[in-house]
Amino acid sequence: MSRKSVNKSFQSRRFSRREAVSTAAKVAGSAVAGLVIGGVAGYVLKPAAPAEVKTTTIVTEKKGKFTDPPPPGTKIVIIHGFDAAYPPFTEVTPTGEVQGFDIDVIKWIANKYGWEVVPKPWDWATIITALLNGDIDIIASGMTHTAARAEKVWYSIPYYVYYHHLLTLKEDTRSMEEILNSGEYISCQLGATSDEWAEKLLKQGYKFKKLALDSYALAFQAVLEGRAIAVISDSAFTEPYFKEKPEVGQRFREVGRLGGIKTYAIATRPEDYWLRNMINHALTELMDSPLWNELLTKWNLR
């Protein structure tokens, strides 16, 4: 082969390479263009995201019997639930008379507003259920404001302060630890805060047996009769009870106090805002008046 032919062949191969590069560039460009066009088309044709659905939760407050102020001229009837055997706060006498400090307080509030009050004695162990079910409208009967009860009912402002204590006969000289670990019966009132104290002490590991009776008076009587060695009571009952029955008070001694101070308040259904506010304003007015001290004196509460 001549040199001229070789050069011609070489030039031909070089031209082919340029063509190849050009062709590759064109192919690559077409591919990129295809990707871009495809991407744009895909973006354009992409299904639209579903519209955000917004939900609104509507909370409606439960309406009660006394949630709102009644129309003018409406007759207001309040059913007063109370313990029939908790003097001097509430009791029904052997002659059927309803009396006590809380009875007088509720009467005063009713007279202030022109309400009619229907007193209704109720078993203390189920009285909160009666309130929530609508069988009664208020509980005013030396009712202690406790955290557990406050989960179910709403209270008025407090109006009386007291404490819990353990009492036994004067001839029993044992300490509180010895009595609580005696393995013998200690009395209290069924369903009352003294009952709660007995349960709390038992859960703490003290060794005694609980004797829960229908009233504090019966709980004290159980000790006098030898069926229990001590009684868990509260000063709101004990102090006026001993003043009324000094012959009983002379036989007992206070072994010690249990916990801190407690308060009494009037219980209402949570949704009865209007009724509770009216009671609070009336209670404040009464406690700021000379009549309050007169009532305390009348019922041996001071």
- The answer as to whether 28 is a domain residue is no
Looking at the structure, do residues 278 and 289 belong to the same domain, yes or no?
yes
Number of domains, the chain: 2
- The answer as to whether 40 is a domain residue is no
Looking at the structure, do residues 253 and 237 belong to the same domain, yes or no?
yes
Q: Please work out, in degrees rounded to the nearest 5, the angle formed at the alpha carbon of residue 152 by the alpha carbons of 151 and 154.
A: 90
Looking at the structure, do residues 153 and 237 belong to the same domain, yes or no?
no
Looking at the structure, do residues 204 and 233 belong to the same domain, yes or no?
yes
- The answer as to whether 46 is a domain residue is no
Per-residue pLDDT of the chain in tens (302 residues, 90 and over written 9): 444 444 444 344 444 444 443 444 444 444 444 444 444 444 444 555 556 656 555 545 667 899 999 999 999 999 999 999 999 999 999 999 999 999 999 999 999 999 999 999 999 989 999 999 999 999 999 999 999 999 999 999 999 999 999 999 999 999 999 999 999 999 999 989 999 999 999 999 999 999 999 999 999 999 999 999 999 999 999 999 999 999 999 999 999 999 999 999 999 999 999 999 999 999 999 999 999 999 999 999 98
Q: Where are the beta strands (DSSP E) in the chain?
A: 77-82, 85-86, 90-92, 98-99, 116-121, 138-139, 154-155, 160-169, 185-189, 209-213, 230-234, 252-264, 267-268
Looking at the structure, do residues 251 and 269 belong to the same domain, yes or no?
no
- The CATH number assigned to the domain holding 278 equals 3.40.190.10
pTM of the model: 0.72
- The answer as to whether 114 is a domain residue is yes
Looking at the structure, do residues 96 and 218 belong to the same domain, yes or no?
no
Looking at the structure, do residues 256 and 166 belong to the same domain, yes or no?
yes
Name the residue range of residue 249's domain: 161-263
- The answer as to whether 59 is a domain residue is no
Looking at the structure, do residues 140 and 218 belong to the same domain, yes or no?
no
As given in the structure block, the two tokens for residue 167 are 């009492």
- The answer as to whether 6 is a domain residue is no
Looking at the structure, do residues 168 and 257 belong to the same domain, yes or no?
yes
Looking at the structure, do residues 185 and 239 belong to the same domain, yes or no?
yes
Looking at the structure, do residues 271 and 139 belong to the same domain, yes or no?
yes
How far from chain centre, in Å, is Cα 166? 27
- The answer as to whether 25 is a domain residue is no
Looking at the structure, do residues 90 and 174 belong to the same domain, yes or no?
no
Helix (H, G, I), strand (E, B) or coil at 265: coil
- The answer as to whether 217 is a domain residue is yes
Question: Which residues have C-beta within 8 Å of that of residue 79, sequence separation ≥ 6?
Answer: 117, 118, 120, 135, 136, 137, 138
